[in-house]
Amino acid sequence: MSTRPISDHALLSDCRSAALVTSEGSVDWLCFPRFDSPAIFARLLDEDAGHWAIRPTGPAEVTRRYVADTLVLETTFRTANGAVTLVDALSLGRRERGHGIGRSSPGVLLREATCVEGTVTLEVTYAPRPEFGIVHPLMAPVRGGLIARGGAHVLTLSLPVEATVDGATARATVTLTAGQRLGFALAAGPGWEAAPVVWNGRLIHRRLKDTIAGWLSWSRGHARYEGPWQEQVAVSGRVLLGLTYAPTGAIVAAATTSLPEEVGGQRNWDYRYTWIRDASLTLQALDTAACEKEQDAFFGFLARAAASRLGHDADLQIMYGVGGERDLSERLLPHLGGWRGSSPVRVGNDAWRQRQIDVYGEILDAAHQLSSDATRRPYDPVMRTFLLDAAETAARRWQEPDQGIWEIRGPSRHFLHSKLMCWVALDRAIAMAPALHATDRVGEWERIRARIRTAILTDGWNPHAGAFTQAFGEPYLDASALTIPLVGFLPGDDPRVQATVDAIATHLTDARGLVRRYATADGLPGDEGAFLLCTFWLAHALALTGRAAPAERAFLTAVSHANDVGLLAEEVDSDTGEPIGNFPQAFSHIGLINAARAIRDCHDRSP
């Protein structure tokens, strides 16, 4: 059972796959060659599921940071006799720069230890366990390293010191003095091919420099946001890029699977996929923290993956694999104990089967954001057909129940947020009608949009709660109602919006000032923590109501739960204040970016 805090991990990315490294220099999570591939190291979910550690043999004081404007991690260990710096990165391609980073990443984990003071003895423990710990590979020494074979992978560890192999684990110790440097690298290849070659220390050092240069070239070309929390916004922009699968433009919701929403609970889902529901908010965040290239790539992926004819019996699927895959069927990994005993561990996500009618609004809002830029290319016939089908489906199905934005696994209901996003779908389709060659449909869309608006204002508003609520005719609050001003359904100064914001701030906020999604039964056992995204939504909505001071307080409350390198989890345990849920969470970083911009704009509007 893994017990290390989720927040103790730092993200490495090559814009194809991800690794998580602890403050003690242990890679406890690594998936090659894609984010959703079976893990080679998964100690994050079980103590015997694989790791690779490099650290001093004795006690050490630890500090770490990302090399400026990169996702290259620098960890410094200070012992009684000296200090050593460990630099970790997933290698980018040799000359990848700017928008091209991740396009030719070789699938190599780089690690370089440099003694910067005195003398330090390091211990290296290498325990690969491919396929989430099922495979204990056969390991053999070669000149300059080790080869491990088993299952679908052949692994080459470039190791500049002699190691002792015990079964499927290798160990080594080495003493460095000031100025000495050692390079390590791990490369994975298909098990039926020749093993990847061993890299020497000079090559590892050059590839680290190339990787730093690649990240710097992207970051320095994307310093778009100016305002409060500029550094946090910049970090969040890099996290979104780090969660991007460069070959397709897909952005995964998180780098991990099965990190729980409740310690010891069963709400453990695989988030290594792309959700349609994130689309419009993601594009807003990319507009602030990245640029149109990333927006185009992400929307292009969504459009390609989701494109299909939508009819009376065909729904727009809510989520996809990073290559556009649709069948994401869920299975259990019973051999893994789970983080702090939180089981089951799942691979895949059966939410792909759900009906969520909000997705039509998300996809059309995303398209509208891009079409508002006059420099964009016109829609091709296939894209026009797809977006037109999405608008018509929203017009036809807005009165139907669904599972809602939170993927409730109970009975279908008439969720307010789903109706709201159907209104958004038609509102944006009306604005885009000329580009969609659909001006003849505007009159009908306007009539249905008006009907949806009336239904939301009549059935979505609950006089007993004094707020817009989770579902039509029900008194229960839901944080998704905070999106009403975010999508432009009502202005921030509308009394009903202000009353809803106040009700959520009063009744869905825990003692720490963090917002819970809802407080109703959802068809699942156990409970969950407070959602950082929802807390950022509260800050965003407060800013839209013109209340900058409480918006800042809510924002700072959420940001205070970032770890030492600026990464945010999905949730926070309301009792302990500990980050929980899959990590790092794209939605949390998206919420941070969008809320920061809203608060800045609120200040700009103030007299």
- What's the per-residue H, E or C state across 238-258? HHHHHCEECCCCEECCECCEC
Of residues 222 and 544, more confidence is placed in: 544
Decide which of 219, 245, 272 is a domain's last residue. 219
Domain match, 407 and 334 both: yes
SS3 284: helix
Q: Please check the confidence at residue 9 and state whether its pLDDT lies above 50.
A: yes
pTM across the whole model: 0.96
Question: Do 205 and 257 sit in the same domain of this protein?
Answer: no
How many structural domains compose the chain?
2
The H or E element spanning position 523 is: none
Where a domain ends, among 185, 219, 253? 219
pLDDT tens-digit series, residues 336-353: 999 999 999 999 999 898
Helix (H, G, I), strand (E, B) or coil at 169: strand
Is the confidence at residue 309, as pLDDT, over 50? yes
Using one digit for the tens of pLDDT, what is the confidence trace for 389-443? 999 999 999 999 999 999 887 789 999 999 999 999 999 999 999 999 999 999 9
Q: What is the pLDDT of residues 479-512, one digit of tens each?
A: 999 999 999 999 999 999 999 999 999 999 999 9
Quick one: 492 exposed, middle or buried, by C-beta within 10 A (0-12, 13-18, 19+)?
buried
Tell me, yes or no, whether 374 and 495 share the same domain.
yes
Write out pLDDT tens, residues 229-244.
999 999 999 999 999 9
Residue 311 pLDDT greater than 70, yes or no: no
pLDDT digits (tens, 9 = 90+) for 89-148: 999 988 777 777 888 899 999 999 999 999 999 999 999 999 999 999 999 999 999 999
Please check whether residues 61 and 114 belong to one and the same domain: yes
Q: Report the largest interatomic distance among the alpha carbons of the chain, rounded to a whole angstrom.
A: 78
Is residue 375's pLDDT more than 50? no
Instruction: Check whether residue 367 and residue 325 sit in a common domain.
Output: yes
Q: The domain containing residue 554 runs over which residues?
A: 222-605
Share of the chain above pLDDT 70, in %: 97
Please indicate, yes or no, whether residues 310 and 380 belong to a single structural domain of this protein. Answer: yes
Q: 57-71, 267-281, 311-325: lowest mean pLDDT where?
A: 311-325
Does 1 fall in a domain? no
243, 599 in Cβ contact below 8 A?
no
Please state the separation of Cα 557 from the chain's center in Å.
20
How many Å apart are CA 76 and CA 319, to the nearest integer?
Answer: 40
Average pLDDT, the chain: 93
Last residue within a domain, chosen from 219, 251, 271: 219
